[in-house]
Chain A
Amino acid sequence: MFDKIKIAGILLVVGMVAGLAIVGVHTLTEDRIEENRLAMQYEDYVSIFPDMDLTNYEEKALDQDVLTTRITAYDSDGDFLGYIFIGESASYGGTNRVLVGVDSDGRIVKVILSQTQDTANIVQNVIDILDKFEGQAFGEVDYDAPSGATQSYDSIWRVVDAVSLMIEGDPTQEAFESVFEDADSYDVLFDHEDLAFVEEFNIRDADGTILGYAYEIDVDDENTVFLVVDQDDVFKGFVPKDAVDDETQAMIEAYDDHIDTPLVDIDPDTGDILEDAINDLKPLVETTTRVDYDIVVRYKDYIEDDEVVGVTYIVRTDGYNARMIGEVTIVDDELFSFVIRSHNESADWGAIIIDDGDLQEALIDADNPEDVDVKEYTTFDATSGATQTGEAMQRIVVAALEYHNEEGGQ
């Protein structure tokens, strides 16, 4: 019995001495370890701003596709050093985490690839070129890609580009803000091919309500101007995107008198491209009604022999490659015609199904276009991409019908 107590006692003593030694060393090293851990956590920040005060910085979550966080860095005197933007972007091996440091002059301090799953050789290739971002000013960043590590590099410049947009601001958005104070976002509606303006935009406020519309006019290669109207088609003036030269500025100012008059009442006589744009837009505004819908829809009366006999819906959706726009005419609540007005499908595969016309016919003839099996109308060789093309066409017809039924064909 005594033996056992003795053994237990010895073990206890050994354990206690060991414990004491550990606690002693722990108290000695505790502070330093904490310091080191902090330093590791902020290693990337410190390598961008060596003077950064780690106890005093602001962190703001960014609600964006690419950028996740913005860190506002101050030095120990509380002076503003710059921003660190943290972005995440897909690359070959997984998601790359990229840090972009921006100083108070709006120049890039450093770009860091802080987390990646790409192979070492690819990463090395990318890191070699990260240095060239240093000191570049936004607005004139040189994105020359190296041969080789394409996806890795793409993921990095996407982040730098997003930072650039955030610092420099989006010229399109700024242009809209100069007209509508509440403008918060915009989306592209249609491409126009034969008209004086090339693209049409919805301008929305923070709640998503449409404030107005804009039409992009390329005066020449350097100068771009937006024609802006509000949602009642009242002319709000021409606004420049970016800076424009004096000549264009003069053209714009010539229209200042017309601001706040309905577009249809403007009858300019300047003979320039801006006049063409107004003239091209007038008939569109007069004959069509714009609506906001999941798949963007806009409709106008279908007129035959000067008599309104039906409604034509213009529907935009995404095809296999990019936007596809279709015109669906409905007469007496029945599908009457369906034409694809513009698309970007590849000539060999997607376009074949459109040019073929079989699917359009089938969609019109069907009692319920939703039931049409698109795959039957694609050739065997072209299944994959073309199926998506066909499905986009089907979506257009279905959306037009749905809208027509909901709104009662007004």
Chain B
Amino acid sequence: MAEKKVAKNPMKKKKKNGRLDILTKGFIRENPIFIFLLGMCPALAVTSTMETGLGMGLLVILVLTGSNVVVSLIRNLIPEQIQIPAFIVVIATFVTIVGMLTEAYAFALHQSLGIFIPLIVVNCLIMGRATSFASKNKVSDSAIDGFGMALGFTFALMLIGATREIFASGAIALGVYLPLPFEISIINTEMYLFNMDVFAGPAGGFIVIGVLLALFTAIGNYRQKKKEAERQAWIEQKKKEAAERKRKKAMESAGDAS
């Protein structure tokens, strides 16, 4: 049994469900922050708490899904030469609208994100998805792609934010910035050692992302090594089988001869 398992070619990917794959790939495999290093500015600037990270993520979900849909809708109407300016207009429009909505309905979030709301316009992630995916695929796929990618982005921001917040204040709060009907601490260690101011500041942001990235790279490397080992084992086995076959053939022919 075990041998059979090894014998499966690990290089052959099993066929995945297309839509689900588009949705989930942004989470880990093509995570915009940890794998592609897109949108590092907001990843550093708005993640001093988990909630601001979540808020930024929500805005990006709205903008990215919206712009992907619109870009995909008009992809056949826009000539090649003016693609970029037209996309910029679309994205900037969405950002402006989302910014105004935030200011009206989530004012605390708007204040804490500050300049980084208009800066969503220049987030490479959004322009990148518009040119590389939405302008080539149909509307429903583009919507799913935008949503999934932004979800991955949100996940990364929340992870960074949670790490920084727990070190900076020893607790993770929810309901301070987002217009939620409650205000609670999800985690509260109440440990004085966790009051490391530095993690709320810029230096902590860089260091936390650096450490998380190293962690992700280490996990990736470990997986790749494992995969590589599996592949090597498979090749060995194939070689062995071939040798066996050869030997058998030789023996057969030898037997025939005798």
**A–B direct touch in complex (beta carbons closer than 8 A):** yes
A residues 21-36 touching B (CB-CB < 8 Å): 21-22, 25-26, 28-29, 32-33, 36
A309 within 8 A of B: no
Contacts of A347 in B (CB 8 A): none
Q: Is the CB of B93 within 8 A of A36?
A: no
A322 within 8 A of B: no
Question: When the two chains form the complex, which single residue of B79, B97, B103, B200 contacts A36, counting CB atoms closer than 8 Å?
Answer: B103
Q: Is the CB of B86 within 8 A of A121?
A: no
A21 to B197, CA, bound (A): 42
A366 within 8 A of B: no
Q: Is the CB of B96 within 8 A of A119?
A: no
Q: Is the CB of A7 within 8 A of B103?
A: no
A32 to B104, CA, bound (A): 5
Q: Is the CB of A29 within 8 A of B104?
A: yes
Q: Which residue of A lies closest to B78 (CB)?
A: A10
A120 within 8 A of B: yes
A135 within 8 A of B: no
Q: A18-B90, A29-B100, A29-B101 are in contact. Are A11 and B85 (CB under 8 A)?
A: yes
A337 to B65, CA, bound (A): 91
A36 to B195, CA, bound (A): 32
Q: Is the CB of A25 within 8 A of B79?
A: no
Q: Is the CB of A29 within 8 A of B103?
A: yes
Minimum distance in angstroms from B42 CB to a CB of chain A: 22
Question: When the two chains form the complex, which single residue of A15, A21, A33 contacts B103, counting CB atoms closer than 8 Å?
Answer: A33
A33 to B102, CA, bound (A): 9
Contacts of B81 in A (CB 8 A): 7
Question: When the two chains form the complex, which single residue of A11, A21, A40, A119 contacts B97, counting CB atoms closer than 8 Å?
Answer: A21
Question: When the two chains form the complex, which single residue of A11, A32, A39, A40 contacts B105, counting CB atoms closer than 8 Å?
Answer: A32
Contacts of B85 in A (CB 8 A): 11
Q: Which residue of B lies closest to A24 (CB)?
A: B97
A22 to B95, CA, bound (A): 10
A3 to B82, CA, bound (A): 12
Q: Is the CB of B86 within 8 A of A14?
A: yes
Contacts of B100 in A (CB 8 A): 22, 25-26, 29, 33
A119 to B97, CA, bound (A): 36
B residues 56-101 touching A (CB-CB < 8 Å): 74, 77-79, 81-82, 85-86, 89-90, 92-93, 96-97, 100-101
A40 to B106, CA, bound (A): 12
Q: Is the CB of B104 within 8 A of A119?
A: no
Minimum distance in angstroms from A118 CB to a CB of chain B: 12
Q: Which residue of B lies closest to A20 (CB)?
A: B93
Minimum distance in angstroms from B135 CB to a CB of chain A: 14
A125 to B203, CA, bound (A): 24
Q: Is the CB of A18 within 8 A of B78?
A: no
Contacts of B107 in A (CB 8 A): 36, 39-40
Minimum distance in angstroms from B165 CB to a CB of chain A: 13
**Interface membership of chain A positions 288-300, coded 1 if the CB is closer than 8 angstroms to chain B and 0 otherwise:** 0000000000000
Contacts of A26 in B (CB 8 A): 100
Instruction: Summarize B's interface: helix, strand, loop or mixed.
Output: helix
Contacts of A22 in B (CB 8 A): 93, 96-97, 100
A10 to B75, CA, bound (A): 12
Q: Is the CB of A10 within 8 A of B93?
A: no
Contacts of B224 in A (CB 8 A): none
Question: When the two chains form the complex, which single residue of B89, B103, B104, B197 contacts A121, counting CB atoms closer than 8 Å?
Answer: B197
Contacts of A11 in B (CB 8 A): 82, 85-86, 89
Q: A14-B89, A15-B89, A22-B93 are in contact. Are A120 and B101 (CB under 8 A)?
A: no
B189 within 8 A of A: no
A6 to B79, CA, bound (A): 9
Q: Is the CB of B93 within 8 A of A21?
A: yes
Q: Is the CB of B200 within 8 A of A25?
A: no
Q: Which residue of A lies closest to B103 (CB)?
A: A33
**Interface membership of chain B positions 200-241, coded 1 if the CB is closer than 8 angstroms to chain A and 0 otherwise:** 100000000000000000000000000000000000000000
Contacts of B195 in A (CB 8 A): 121
B111 within 8 A of A: yes
A29 to B98, CA, bound (A): 11
Question: When the two chains form the complex, which single residue of B82, B92, B97, B101 contacts A10, counting CB atoms closer than 8 Å?
Answer: B82
Q: Is the CB of B104 within 8 A of A33?
A: yes
Q: A15-B89, A21-B97 are in contact. Are A7 and B79 (CB under 8 A)?
A: yes
Q: Is the CB of A36 within 8 A of B86?
A: no
A residues 111-153 touching B (CB-CB < 8 Å): 119-121
Minimum distance in angstroms from B73 CB to a CB of chain A: 11
Q: Is the CB of A119 within 8 A of B197?
A: yes
Contacts of A18 in B (CB 8 A): 89-90, 92-93
A14 to B105, CA, bound (A): 27
A371 to B235, CA, bound (A): 100
Minimum distance in angstroms from B227 CB to a CB of chain A: 46
A121 to B107, CA, bound (A): 26
Q: Which residue of B lies closest to A6 (CB)?
A: B79
A40 to B86, CA, bound (A): 36
The 9 closest A-B pairs by CB, nearest first: A29-B104, A18-B93, A32-B104, A36-B107, A25-B97, A29-B100, A33-B103, A33-B104, A14-B86
Q: List 6 A-B contacts (CB under 8 A).
A: A3-B79, A14-B74, A14-B78, A21-B93, A29-B105, A40-B107
